[in-house]
Structures are given as structure tokens and as C-alpha cells.
């Protein structure tokens, strides 16, 4: 038997996701029409002998209650949300719930960060881990040297794949091979974390004062476990050859939505919308997800990279390109939405435009409307972030509307 743990973090971690994370925990924000954590969860479902999936976080239980009960029913796998009383760090949180996680005596525990977008080759990681031995195997990927410093950088033995050296977000370049935040461990990981706790408790050890800037019961998987265990024939790497992105900003979520939509094109094309503008069906271009409850006017033109959630109404002549439209939004006649995320219950007026600014890139420049924003008729909202419940009756550009 194996179990999977997905680290979902908590409200203080989602601040870069504002205004979307004001009323919805970041892990539940939809990408390609499904909550962010739906994608790793459905990848877990494919592992043979998977007994349970745990979500560990410090969000209120009620925020995940509906999702865990519906996904458990849908996948026929128990998915449980375990709430920490406060953050314990990525390894500390795992350790905190060790009895629950080990209840059914699994041989292996998968550990996944919630905020990565990936095809999650979990069975491949497990098979490789069984060949390597040791206490854990981590998914790694090559990125550009400039991008690497935002991640854990590492050096692996090219033949044995052993993790030889690990540094979390180093200031000077170590390697373009980085940690993807996806691991499999044997139960020995709990002994390794226990060991760190006892080092911290040990007053005679210089460990705490010399290297730690966090509370004594806070244990980070990367700095406190991976770095010291590197080069000891305990940890191994499995290189990801498929797509991988980290999802720290809403701009990244647009890109990740596109990646998951194109994955659906390969794995489950029936989820995607189709139509060529004839037979009263709208014109669909490229990969588009449309929830079955959406009311879409046949003269609308949608795509590529668009996902439209439940109960959205899209009027005549509307054009949507590269955007995420959340539940209960209304987009009125001839409005245009490009490179934007439209929050729940928002309304976009006739002949209005909502789009990224000219120098759009994945990090900044996209437009995000929070929940229940009203854009009146003939208003342009360009490269701006608009907080919830605002009404815009004049055009704005490169602005934050509080
Ligand atoms: N439950 C819980 N409790 N979850 C936590 C806590 C905690 O105290 N702290 C972090 N997390 C969750 C986050 O929500 C995230 O899913 C994951 O653990 C890792 O978060 P961080 O520890 O903040 O690290 P990071 O995301 O900046 O970087 C990590 O992931 C990168 C890949 O995305 C590192 O492991 C990097 O090396 C790695 O490249």
C-alpha cells in the first residue's frame, strides 16, 4: 500500500494570489476548469495500491470540507484534510500527522507541493525509487540558469542518480537542476525528521543558533532534511522530461491552465469543448474548457487557452482569448477578454475590453478582477488588478484598484 500527502499551506502563504485568494484558498482556484489540487490528486489516483490521500494545511477545515467530500466520492479514494494548529514547515507538518499517515502501514509515502503544475509521473518516481533504495527519491528538472535561483538547486550523480548536493534558493549559482517539489519516501523519513527535532532540542548542539532562523518546532524539508542528507546514499533523483511550472502568482496560473488544457487534449480530449461556429455552436479555437452549465451565445468566439467555470453567461459577439472565467460571471455583448482572470460573479459590460498591458509577460501585466467586480459598458481595463466588489465606470490601465 502507498499513501499520498499534498501540502496545501495556509492563508498567509496565498498573499501573492490576491485578490483571488481573499475568499478562496489558493489550492482551490481553478486551472483548466478544475481546482489547482485536483490535478495532483487525479495523478495520485493512477498509482497502484493507493490507499488514501491527505491534504495537510493550516486553512480552516470548512474551507476544504466540500471539496474533499466531493473528490472522495468522485475518485472512490478517501481524501482527508488534516489541519495543523499553526504552520510547522513542510517536513514538520508531515511529522505532525505521522500517526494518521502511517495508520495503514503504507510502504511508501508520496509528498507533493500543491503549487506545482506538472504531469506528476508518480509511478515512474516510485519504480525508480525501488531500484535506487534509500529513504527518498525526488522529482527534478533542468531549467535555465537564471530561473534556477528561485528553487532548490541540486547536483546529482549522472550514473547512480544519487543526490550529492542540495542548496535551497542559493544566492550564487550551483546548478540548473532543480527540485520540483514532488517526492516519494519510505517511513524512514519520519526518523530523519525526528533526528532533526532531537538536534534542535539538544541544548549543547550549535545547530539551532548557527543555521536556523525559524521556530524550534518548524522543520523545512529542503534546508533541514534534503541538504544534510545529500551525499549520504539516502536520497535519489528522478528527472522530469515533461512540463513543470511553479504556481506562485496569478499570471503563472494562466500559463499552467494552458499546460493542463493541452494535457487534457492528450489524455482526455472529451473534456474539451468543440465547435466551428456552424449549427448554432460557438466558434472554439484550440484548447478550451467550458463547464456544462455555461450559457454561451453561438456567435461568441472562444480560445485558445480559455477555461469557463459553472453558470457563466457569455453574450453575442464576445471574444475570449487566454483567460480563466470563474463561476457565475456574466460577459455581455461584444465584450473582449484577453490574458485575464475574471473573478466569481463579476460582470463585464457591452463593448468593454479586459486585457493584459502591452508588455505582458507571465509575471506581471495580466488583468485580474476579484470577486463581484462590475465593468460597465464600453470600459477598458488594461493590465490592472481590481479588488472585489468594485464598479469600474471609467477605463484604467496598469493600475491597482483598491
Ligand atoms: N501544511 C503546511 N504547513 N504546508 C506548508 C507549510 C507548513 O508549515 N510550509 C509550506 N507548506 C507547503 C506550501 O503550501 C507548498 O505547497 C509547499 O509546502 C512548499 O512550500 P515552501 O516550503 O514555502 O517552499 P517553496 O514553494 O518556496 O519551494 C519549494 O518548492 C519548490 C518547487 O515548487 C522548495 O522545496 C524548492 O526547493 C522547490 O524548488
37 lines ligand 1 (CB under 6 A): no
Tell me how many degrees the CA angle 250-253-256 measures, rounded to the nearest 5. Answer: 165
- pLDDT tier at 250 (50, 70, 90 boundaries)? confident
pLDDT of residue 18: 85
9 lines ligand 1 (CB under 6 A): yes
Separation of 326 CA from ligand 1 center, angstroms? Answer: 26
C-alpha cell at 175: 546548478
181 lines ligand 1 (CB under 6 A): yes
**pLDDT tens-place string over residues 282-304:** 899 999 999 999 999 999 999 99
Q: What atom of ligand 1 comes closest to residue 56's alpha carbon?
A: 1
Phi, psi of 320 (to 5 degrees): -120, 125
168 lines ligand 1 (CB under 6 A): yes
Report the alpha-carbon distance of residue 378 to residue 243 in Å, rounded.
Answer: 39
pLDDT of residue 120: 97
**pLDDT tens-place string over residues 52-82:** 999 999 999 999 999 999 999 999 999 999 9
In terms of Cα–Cα distance, which of 180, 46, 48, 160 is closest to 108?
A: 48
Q: What atom of ligand 1 comes closest to residue 88's alpha carbon?
A: 8
Which of 9, 112, 168, 178 for mutating ligand 1's site (highest number of atoms within 8 Å of CB)? 9
pLDDT of residue 348: 98
Q: Annotate 316-344 with DSSP letters as a single string.
A: TT-EEEEEEE-TT-EE-TT-EEEEEEE-T
pTM above 0.90, yes or no: yes
Separation of 371 CA from ligand 1 center, angstroms? Answer: 27
Separation of 222 CA from ligand 1 center, angstroms? Answer: 9
Q: Is the pLDDT of residue 22 over 90?
A: no
Q: Is the pLDDT of residue 206 over 70?
A: no
pLDDT of residue 226: 95
Q: Is the pLDDT of residue 401 over 70?
A: yes
357: left (phi over 0), alpha (psi -120 to 50) or beta: beta
Q: Is the pLDDT of residue 402 over 90?
A: no
178 lines ligand 1 (CB under 6 A): yes
Average pLDDT value for residue range 336-365: 87
Q: Identify the residue whose C-alpha is closest to ligand 1 atom 15.
A: 113
Q: What atom of ligand 1 comes closest to residue 8's alpha carbon?
A: 14
Tell me, rounded to whole angstroms, the distance of Cα 102 from its chain centroid.
25
Report the alpha-carbon distance of residue 53 to residue 60 in Å, rounded.
Answer: 18
Q: What atom of ligand 1 comes closest to residue 178's alpha carbon?
A: 39
Which of 54, 113, 240 for mutating ligand 1's site (highest number of atoms within 8 Å of CB)? 113
- pLDDT tier at 199 (50, 70, 90 boundaries)? confident
Report the alpha-carbon distance of residue 388 to residue 369 in Å, rounded.
Answer: 7
Q: Is the pLDDT of residue 271 over 90?
A: yes
90 lines ligand 1 (CB under 6 A): yes
Helices 188-201 and 89-96, interaxial angle, to 10°?
A: 110
pLDDT of residue 139: 98
Separation of 310 CA from ligand 1 center, angstroms? Answer: 30
Separation of 113 CA from ligand 1 center, angstroms? Answer: 6
Separation of 372 CA from ligand 1 center, angstroms? Answer: 31
pLDDT of residue 21: 85
Examine the predicted complex and report whether its ipTM is higher than 0.85.
yes
Report the alpha-carbon distance of residue 150 to residue 40 in Å, rounded.
Answer: 22
Average pLDDT value for residue range 145-170: 95
Amino acid at each position: 500500500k502507498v499513501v499520498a500527502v499534498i501540502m496545501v499551506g495556509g492563508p498567509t502563504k496565498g498573499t501573492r494570489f490576491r485578490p483571488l485568494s481573499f475568499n478562496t484558498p489558493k489550492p482551490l482556484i481553478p486551472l483548466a476548469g478544475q481546482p489547482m489540487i485536483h490535478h495532483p490528486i487525479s495523478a495520485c489516483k493512477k498509482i497502484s495500491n493507493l490507499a488514501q490521500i491527505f491534504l495537510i494545511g493550516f486553512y480552516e477545515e470548512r474551507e476544504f470540507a466540500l471539496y474533499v467530500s466531493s473528490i472522495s466520492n468522485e475518485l472512490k479514494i478517501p481524501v482527508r484534510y488534516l489541519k495543523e494548529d499553526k504552520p510547522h514547515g513542510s517536513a514538520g507538518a508531515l511529522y505532525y500527522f505521522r500517526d494518521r499517515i502511517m495508520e495503514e502501514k503504507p510502504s511508501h509515502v508520496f509528498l507533493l507541493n500543491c503549487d506545482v503544475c506538472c504531469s506528476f509521473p508518480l509511478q515512474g518516481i516510485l519504480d525508480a525509487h525501488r531500484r535506487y533504495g534509500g529513504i527518498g527519491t525526488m522529482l527534478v528538472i533542468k531549467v535555465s540558469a537564471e530561473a534556477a535561483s528561485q528553487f532548490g538547486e541540486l547536483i546529482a550523480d549522472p550514473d547512480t542518480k544519487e543526490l550529492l548536493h542540495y542548496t535551497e534558493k542559493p544566492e550564487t549559482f550551483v546548478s540548473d537542476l532543480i527540485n520540483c517539489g514532488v517526492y516519494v519516501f519510505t517511513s524512514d523519513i519520519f526518523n530523519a525528521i525526528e533526528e532533526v527535532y532531537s538536534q534542535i532540542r539538544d541544548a549543547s548542539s550549535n545547530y539551532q543558533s548557527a543555521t536556523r532562523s525559524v521556530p524550534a518546532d518548524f522543520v523545512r524539508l529542503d534546508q533541514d532534511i534534503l541538504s544534510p542528507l545529500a551525499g549520504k546514499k539516502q536520497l535519489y533523483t528522478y528527472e522530469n522530461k515533461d512540463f513543470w511550472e511553479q504556481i506562485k502568482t496569478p499570471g503563472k496560473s494562466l500559463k499552467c491552465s494552458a499546460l493542463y488544457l493541452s494535457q487534457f487534449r492528450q489524455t482526455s480530449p472529451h473534456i474539451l469543448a468543440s465547435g466551428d461556429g456552424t449549427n448554432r455552436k460557438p466558434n472554439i479555437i484550440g484548447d478550451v474548457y467550458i463547464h456544462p452549465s455555461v450559457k454561451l451565445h453561438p456567435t461568441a468566439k472562444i480560445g485558445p487557452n480559455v477555461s469557463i467555470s459553472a453558470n457563466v453567461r457569455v453574450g453575442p459577439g464576445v471574444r475570449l482569448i487566454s483567460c480563466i472565467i470563474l463561476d457565475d460571471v456574466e460577459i455581455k455583448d461584444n465584450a473582449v477578454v484577453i490574458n485575464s482572470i475574471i473573478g466569481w460573479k463579476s460582470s463585464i459590460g457591452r463593448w468593454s475590453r479586459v486585457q493584459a498591458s502591452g508588455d505582458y509577460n507571465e509575471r506581471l501585466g495580466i488583468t485580474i478582477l476579484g470577486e463581484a467586480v462590475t465593468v460597465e459598458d464600453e470600459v477598458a481595463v488594461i493590465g490592472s488588478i481590481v479588488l472585489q466588489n468594485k464598479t469600474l465606470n471609467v477605463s484604467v490601465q496598469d493600475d491597482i484598484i483598491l
